[in-house]
Structure 1
Amino acid sequence: MNSAGINSVSQMVRPFETKVSTPTTTPYEAQKSFSSVLKQSIENLNKTQLQSDAMTGKLARGENVDLHQVMIASQKASITLQATMEVRNKVVEAYQEMMRMQV
């Protein structure tokens, strides 16, 4: 068997080898990061809801606003709320599953 062929194959594989490093994130940092992401998501949801309400109010008062823009804002707010509710449901389901685990 040709040892040059084996060496060339091992050199081709070597760049794909990676060292697994463990993250040094503390539980406090992870909790803080999760809470900031959650807070930002809820603020985004609130912002889209307020924009939709403002656009709908303008349309109801007869102000100069395009109907399609009002409908787009309304649908965006609705979809954002539905997605948030689905994420909440999954988080609650995961929490309940962890509580059912026997230690």
Structure 2
Amino acid sequence: MTPPTTVNETNKHSATPYEAQQSFAQSLKNAISEVNAQQIQSDIKTEKLINGGDVDLHDVMITAQKASITLNATMEIRNKAVEAYQEIMRMSV
């Protein structure tokens, strides 16, 4: 086993609280962006179906279900995060 050759290699796994916060915020933004993209895709396919566009009904239904499941999962994660926050705030220090 060879020792690390640079400072970056020694600190590779330890992030500052600010870096961890930024990383979490970016992950959250990406997840919400993905949910939004799924909703938009579902809306586009639904509009095409309504206007008589070249789209299969089963494809529209599958896309709508994926968007719905993604949104519901996001809401459940949010609810659990709020519950965890509230539990932490109730703790006595």
What is the TM-score of this pair, normalised by structure 2? 0.85
Structure 1 stretches of 4+ moved >6 Å = none
Q: 1:82, CA displacement in angstroms?
A: 0.3
Q: 1:24, CA displacement in angstroms?
A: 2.1
Corresponding position of 1:73: 63
Higher relative contact order (CA 8 A, sep 6+): 2
Letter in 1 for 2:44: A
Corresponding position of 1:13: none
Q: Does 1:92 align with 2:82?
A: yes
Corresponding position of 2:50: 60
- What is the aligned-residue RMSD (CA, Å)? 0.7
Deviations 1:7-62 (A, max 9, x none): xxxxxxxxxxxxxxxx5211101100100000000000000000000000000011
Identity %: 63
Question: Matched residues in 2 for 1:40 and 1:24: separation?
Answer: 23
Structure 1, unaligned stretches of length 5 or more? 1-22
Corresponding position of 1:30: 20
Question: Matched residues in 2 for 1:25 and 1:65: separation?
Answer: 47
Please tell me whether Structure 1 or Structure 2 has the larger radius of gyration of its CA atoms: 1
Letter in 1 for 2:57: L
What is the TM-score of this pair, normalised by structure 1? 0.77
